[in-house]
Structure 1
Amino acid sequence: MNENSKAKMSIGTEIATMLKSNVRDYAMYIALVVIFIFFGIRTGGLFLSSRNLSDLINQTGYVAVLAIGMTIILIIKHIDLSVGYVAGFLGAVSAILLKAGLNVWVVIPIILCLGIAVGIYQGFLVAKVGVPAFVTTLAGMFIFRGLLSLVTQGTGTIIVSDPTFKALSNGFIPDISSGGSIHILTIIIGVVAVILMTYSQIKSRKNMQKYNFQVSSAPIFVSKIAFITIIIIAIFSMLANYKGIPWTAIVVGTVLFIYNFMLNKTKLGRYIYGIGGNAEAAELSGVNVRKITFFAFASMSMLAALAGILYTSRLSSATPQAGLGFELDAIASSYIGGVSVNGGIGKVTNTIIGALVIMSLTNGMNLMGVDISFQYIVKGAIFILAVAFDVRTRGGRK
């Protein structure tokens, strides 16, 4: 056997080993690619069009924000069933305040603070009083559904006319030039994203080598960088051919960066994972479990408030049906994104992929004209498959 054949076998073996050892992390990316290819073919390319990609980002925004907060809750082995109607109610409150004449930049902080207050209330019941999170948030679901009905019963639908507020989920970042068919700033941001990604990957690889951790071979590493670069360029090019980057992407990206940094680079993040792994051991190690639980619920409700703002902005109105099923999409996104059913494991970056999987299914089936009843069946099947896959793969590694 010549050297080239040996090298090919070695790389092939390395890829197979890498996929096998990280099957849970790669599965969601593979699923997303399959979904994109399937709907791209079935819709005659409409699903992969620049306009639909922008619409998909805007549609995913509120679910992604909710799912990030839900990831924290699930990691510490709790759950929040109230987030859908918290988002719906606070979105309606934002519409009422805007209609009353308040400035949008005053309304947004007020709504976020109200979200934090809701989280503190529910966190108090869970952490201090000892009411199970399931019961607390189920009661919250009923309460905020009732409040939503109460504030919208007069008009049924509250129309939002503020252009700045509506731009949050319908607008795009302005270009540095006007009149061209290509959004130049989007292309520049795409190039910067590739540079930053490459730098981050190289730095991470060097750090792992410095401490003698196992890393992938140079050909595999370069191929990975090239593949990610192609994906980034493709996405930004498609967006540049429409109207550029939606403001929704900026909002979600900012939230993702903050929470990813918090979970991976701070003591608070380590405490959250520690509590999810073993709350009793974390308590004995000096971690204030109650305080972290307070933070998780306050954070979740604040993000629910933000999701409510994004959803109301997208519809340019608040309706009595706002919030219906939001919590289910958020929970499903988190589990599809790799959060363990046993707690202690999960990444907000992967949760975003889970949200894209859920919303891509919805978007694609809508374009195909699939009945809403079958849409729920498909999403339920995907959800249970993801959880079953998680249980089997994690269980097999124990």
Structure 2
Amino acid sequence: MNTLTSLFKNNMRQYGMIIALILIMVLFQILTEGILLKPLNITNLILQNSYILVLAIGMVLVIITGHIDLSVGSVAAFVGALAAILMVDMNIPVFPAVLLSLLLGALIGAWQGFWVAYVRIPAFIVTLAGMLLFRGLTMVVLNGQSISPFPNSFQQMSSGFIPDIFGGSGIHILSVAIGVVLSALYIWYELRSRNQKRIYQFEVMPIGLLIAKMVLLLAFINLFAYVLASYAGIPNVLIILAVLIAAYTFITNRTVMGRHIYALGGNEKAARLSGVKTKRVTFWVFVNMGALAALSGLLFAARLNAATPKAGNLFELDAIAACFIGGASAYGGVGTVTGAIIGGLVMGVMNNGMSIIGLGVDWQQAIKGLVLLLAVGFDIYNKNKSE
């Protein structure tokens, strides 16, 4: 019991948001009379929130370094507009057009990162200017009109599903098989991690608690895979998200660059004196944010099958809210990729659930604002308590 209490206290914010997500899902499952967790709606939840989750992955790195990026929604709209011009108006093939769009996003991030890192203009001002600049440029290049339709292969990136090579009838067998493979990999990872900790005489989780944790996660993985298999299988965009989550979790936890990002956000002066090239780290964090904003814009355009002047509206606020709700600190130096994803899912489930029960957009915005305020207030309370 003492170990369980200590574990929960040390990971209070992360575990608290997981519990909150479960409670919110149970609440809306009851209020929607079972609609929320139907296979079709679960798939729609993934498709509808994919571009926000992509933004949240990049935004959490920006927030960890102690900055903010208000321009990501406008950048997503601008890149989506140029992608439409390349693919629809100029008939450039999908693959080179996507690469050019991602490169454009990275260049935009480099432009903003230069002003923040080397000229030392506050990120709030730089990205606020970027928000206005790229929103205006989006309207200019689109001339106030939408461009559509995109090639079918491009649409599949956001709205397609992986094909079932086993030819299942009524259920997507490949999705179930992927769930089983992921379960095996998870068991291997947990046991390997536990053995490594014991070799170096680190404290490990009691075996009973570890088994309980593994049973719960294995049940979730396979149930989730079965639910997706019951509709049309695993969406392509979920594969993209999974790769991004795994890659950025590895970068933040296991690489020098990741440690430098946390060091910069924790104390910039101390990090610089320790040999961290703080300006370079800040610059590349914004380059990364620009590339992910471009990817988000492509996913949104592919799902909508059109580039519109109003695309990306308020995306930045949803991404920032996802990060803070998921445990990122407003002071910098604290936050995780998985936490940002959990925060994004909390926002997504709330949006979806409130829409199903017929709650107006005005009340939805008010409730989301209140949840964000409570999340940041909880972060400040924990910080003051630790001090």
- TM normalised by structure 1 equals 0.94
Other-structure match for 1:109: 99
1:23 equivalent in alignment to 2:12:
yes
| Aligned position for 1:338 | 327
Match of 1:240 in 2: 229
Give the drift of 1:161: 3.1
What is residue 71 of structure 1 aligned with on the other side?
A: 60
Q: Which residue of 2 aligns with 1:43?
A: 32
1:21 and 1:280 map into 2 onto residues whose CA distance is: 27
2:136 corresponding residue in structure 1: 146
Deviation at 1:95, TM superposition (A): 1.2
What is the Cα-based RMSD across aligned positions, in Å? 1.2
Deviation at 1:249, TM superposition (A): 0.4
Unaligned runs of 5+ residues in structure 1 are: 1-11
CA distance in 2, matches of 1:311, 1:318: 9
Pair 1:297-2:286 in alignment: yes
Structure 2 unaligned blocks of 5 or more: none
One-letter amino acid of the structure 2 residue matched with residue 287 of structure 1? V
Residue of structure 1 equivalent to 2:272: 283
Partner-residue secondary structure (3-state), 1:317: coil
Letter in 2 for 1:328: L
1:324 corresponds to 2:313:
yes
SS of aligned partner of 2:231: coil
CA distance in 2 between partners of 1:112 and 1:105 (Å): 11
The residue type paired with residue 324 of structure 2 is Y
Q: Partners in 1 of 2:245 and 2:11 — Cα distance? A: 22
How much has 1:22 moved relative to structure 2?
2.1
| Native 8 Å contact 2:167 2:173 kept in 1 | no
Tell me whether 1:163 sits opposite 2:149 in the alignment. no
Letter in 1 for 2:219: I
- Kindly state the Cα deviation for residue 149 of structure 1 after the two structures are TM-superposed: 1.2
Q: Are 1:118 and 2:118 an aligned pair?
A: no
Alignment equivalent of 1:249, drawn from 228, 231, 238: 238
Q: CA deviation at 1:39?
A: 1.0
Q: Note the C-alpha offset of 1:304.
A: 0.1
* Alpha-carbon offset, residue 395 of structure 1: 3.1
Corresponding residue of 2:256: 267
1:225 to 200, 209, 214: 214
Maintained 8 Å contact 2:84/2:150: no
Aligned-residue offset at 1:63? 0.5
Spell out, residue by residue over 1:140-170, the C-alpha distance to the aligned partner (whole angstroms, 9 max, x if none).
Answer: 000011011112225x211123111111111
> Is residue 83 from structure 1 mapped to residue 79 from structure 2 by the alignment?
no
Q: TM-score, normalised by structure 2?
A: 0.97
Structure 1 match to 2:185:
196
> Secondary structure at the residue paired with 1:158?
coil
**1:367 counterpart residue number:** 356
Instruction: Write the distance in 1 (CA, Å) between the matches of 2:72 and 2:147.
Output: 20
Q: Which runs of 4+ in 1 moved over 3 A?
A: none
Match of residue 7 from structure 1: none
Q: Distance in 2 between matches of 1:30 and 1:182?
A: 30
Alignment partner of 1:137: what SS?
Answer: helix
> Structure 1: how far apart are the matches of 2:111 and 2:362?
36
The question of whether the paired residues in 1 share the 8 Å contact of 2:84 and 2:307 is answered with: yes
Overall identity of the aligned pairs, in %: 43
Q: Distance in 2 between matches of 1:323 and 1:350?
A: 23
Deviation at 1:93?
1.0
Q: How does 1:377-396 map to 2 (within 5 A)?
A: 377-396=366-385
Amino acid at match of 2:277: N
Amino acid in structure 2 at the alignment position of 1:144:
F
SS at match of 1:129: coil
Kindly provide the CA deviation profile for residues 283-308 of structure 1, in whole angstroms up to 9, marking residues without a partner as x.
11111111111100000010000000
Matching residue of 2:117:
127
Q: 2:45 aligns with which of 48, 52, 56?
A: 56
2:158 and 2:254 map into 1 onto residues whose CA distance is 30
| Deviation digits for residues 47-91 of structure 1 (CA, Å, limit 9, x no counterpart) | 100011011011111001101100111111011100110001111
Aligned-partner SS, 2:195: helix
Structure 1 position 13, deviation (Å): 4.3
Deviation at 1:179? Answer: 5.2
